[in-house]
Chain A
Amino acid sequence: MAEIFVFALLSPHQVLKASSPLLAMHIPDGFLSLPISLLTWVIAIGLIALALQRVQRDLKERAVPLMGVCAAFIFAAQMINFPIPGGTSGHLLGGTLAGVLLGPWAGALVMTVVFIVQATLFQDGGLTVLGANILNMGLIGTFAGYYLYKAVRSVIGFNTWRGMATGAAIAAWVSVVVASLVCAVQLGLSETVPLQVAIPAMLIWHVLIGIGEAMITLIALSYIWRTRPDLLYDPPHQRVSSPRSLLPR
């Protein structure tokens, strides 16, 4: 996440060119201080242990193949660049999408696995700050994102596409913005970047990124809602409404 907000200073065109492979949402090694690293690691390890337990219980011996391919799916989805309104491009972070599709525990586990592989094999995000990255995107992005989505969906209409769409879009946007805010605070508290610089820079950039995230999450979910609603973690009880096809005719 850290490398993103340097782009806040560049023009959209430069961002488009520069950001394509580098728009990762990960803090590198050496950016967080000892107390912040330790604290976030402790929380992250607790989350991983709980998620493993729940997933093992719910999925039994399906856990390994299913979680494995789903993690690979999020990994692949994160590589896809798409244009964001306003001339820049971004890519999916996928926390809320994973939560909506797989549920909070499996979703958080999948995101965690993605981060571990990115940090260990591709040095995308550091090892000492892996706890922070898991906390920001796994716990806040996926777990909190899922419950926000579910709350909004229940209020507007659990079985309607409108409820589904509103819930997912709001959750996707909020989770990205809040995760970036927490990341900025972590960088600030570690005194790597002054707080009054980190927060506005991260927020401005991620308010935009969040719009892209919400749009792509929404379109992907509309496809699944139309074709295989039974695959959603909370499938609609009966087909009440179906979204208009988003494809141009």
Chain B
Amino acid sequence: MLLHISSFQLDIDSQRASPWHQLVPQTRVLCALLFVFATALTPNGHWWTWTIYAIGLAIGIRLSRSTLSVLLKRVAIESTFLGVVLLGTLFRQGGTVLWQWGSLQITTLGLMILGSVAFKALLCLLMLNLLVLTTPVPALLNALIVLKVPPLLVAILASMYRYIAVLIEEFQKMRQAATARNLMRYSRWQRLIMGNMIGSLFIRTYERGDRIHQAMLSRGYTGLPPAVTFSKVRQPDIKVLTLTVIWLLLGQIIYL
């Protein structure tokens, strides 16, 4: 589920100085969004489109000076789902049959889909990881407000992000307590303890929510998050955004 729990700090490269880091967060988010949507929604088989996008992304990664090893490691962990498409490839009909064994077969169509989906997924993962590695979470949330995501939703996202680590720690304490009392020996017990823990965690969570609410009220909370100051869009932002759009369109034009 949470693949990066060991490294809870996500934005390890956020303090660097590079052309990419000079962009305001909303520009980075917008570039990433455009890139991901353009890549993922291109129909299967458009190899040249993705090649052009990959070149653009490579330039972006180079310019951002992010830590390549971390980036690739994260993408590698997240790419395990490709097995699903592999499975689909084995049973697919259509195209020329290249290899057959009983009802299993590999066809040209199957390979084309496997390659396309893998290419698309990989590019999207690289782009999103680049964004998260280089941009701190508060900046990402601010960018969402600038991009007209409802403030209430962003406020809930922010408050959730703040409490994830707290709740995970609370749960781990409960589990440690159960293990220390030798309650995790049989799977039947384990299920009961885990279920009870989740129930108890909910009660604690709900009460915690009330306490947070009281604390917020006592600090003058009125129902909306305090206004934040946004970084202004500058010349380079507009340039990069235009360049991204042109690049993405260029990739699509090839197949028109």
Contact = CB atoms under 8 A, between A and B. Distances in A.
A240 interface: no
B40 A29 contact: yes
Given A191-B44, A220-B196, A3 B80 contact: yes
Given A65-B159, A67-B159, A219-B192, A52 B152 contact: yes
B84 A121 contact: no
Contact of A80 (B41, B156, B171): B171
A65 B166 CA distance: 14
Main secondary structure of the interface of A (DSSP, over half): helix
A42 to B, nearest CB: 14
Q: How large is the interface on A (under 10, 10 to 19, 20 to 34, 35 or more residues)?
A: 35 or more
9 contacts: A30-B121, A65-B216, A66-B210, A69-B205, A73-B167, A76-B170, A79-B5, A121-B132, A221-B199
A64 B36 contact: no
Contact of A21 (B3, B164, B210): B3
Interface in B79-94: 80-81, 83-88, 91-93
Given A121-B132, A194-B88, A197-B88, A69 B190 contact: no
Given A29-B121, A216-B195, A219-B195, A224 B166 contact: no
Contacts of A28: 78, 81, 121, 124-125
Interface of B: 1-5, 10, 33, 36-37, 39-41, 43-44, 74, 78, 80-81, 83-88, 91-93, 113, 116-117, 119-121, 124-125, 128-129, 132, 137, 140, 150, 152-153, 155-164, 166-168, 170-171, 187-192, 194-203, 205-206, 208-210, 212-213, 216-217, 221-223, 225
Given A223-B195, A246-B192, A64 B203 contact: no
Contacts of B213: 61-62, 65-66
A9 B88 CA distance: 12
Interface string A31-69: 111100100000000001100100110001111111111
